[in-house]
Amino acid sequence: MIQIIPAIDIIEGKCVRLEQGDYRLKKIYEADPLDVALRFQDHGIRRLHLVDLEGAKSKHVINWKVLEKISSKTSLIIDFGGGIKTDRDLKIIFENGASMATIGSIAVTEKDIFKKWLVTYGPDKIILAADIKDRKIAITGWQKITEIDIISFLKEYTENGVTQVLCTDISKDGMLSGVSIDLYKIIRENFPALNLLASGGVTTLSDIRTLNEMNINGVIIGKALYEGKISLNDLKEFII
């Protein structure tokens, strides 16, 4: 069964959502992300994807206090991403309750550092973030599109020990336009054993059912929940 993983994106300590990673298109949903996390937990959710959007843009972890607050007051398993660039950043998030670190840009710009972290912390604690636009990898909070193809990117890192990948189609993110079925199909065909998390564009229960049928391991849901396109009660069929 596919795992349901709601997302909380943070700017200035508040729960927000962007459209296609555009910081100018910001909408605040809750002043206190803890209230959102508790609501998720009350409905049987076990895991949370927490994103420090300010950190992603500023290139260092900023909203670690939000992480500490949620981790100390819920039992949610938290994967934390955004701004993780140094050993200190990793130390901060793990000391403040993250179970896993979701890391993207460093895997492109500082490959040796990312590979060192894989060895130091192990593949169970490191998630490779593959943020994509037109099958090319994006970095620095999606502000820069590289020429690196998704399949070659994943091939290199699965050969170096990566077992978990969070793949986001930027063109779909926050747009409520449906998921990139063809993209995930290609990735699954090339990497059948990969623990693959899909993100971007989830709008309906049908989207989730389709991903489940494709043997996608987990799905990140953001704006669809906040805008009421999918309710937490609707997700009960996927919560074991």
Total residue length of the chain: 240
Give the H/E segment covering residue 225. Answer: helix 223-226
Q: Which of 52, 131, 169, 207 is catalytic?
A: 131
Dump the DSSP string for 69-122: HHHHH---EEEEESS--SHHHHHHHHHTT-SEEEE-HHHHH-HHHHHHHHHHH-
Dump the DSSP string for 178-213: ---HHHHHHHHHH-TTSEEEEES---SHHHHHHHHH
Residue 150 has phi, psi (to 5 degrees) of -60, -40
| 131 is annotated as an active-site residue | yes
Q: Which of 9, 52, 169, 173 is catalytic?
A: 9
| 173 is annotated as an active-site residue | no
Three-point CA angle 110, 55, 112, nearest 5° = 10
Catalytic residue positions, numbered: 9, 131
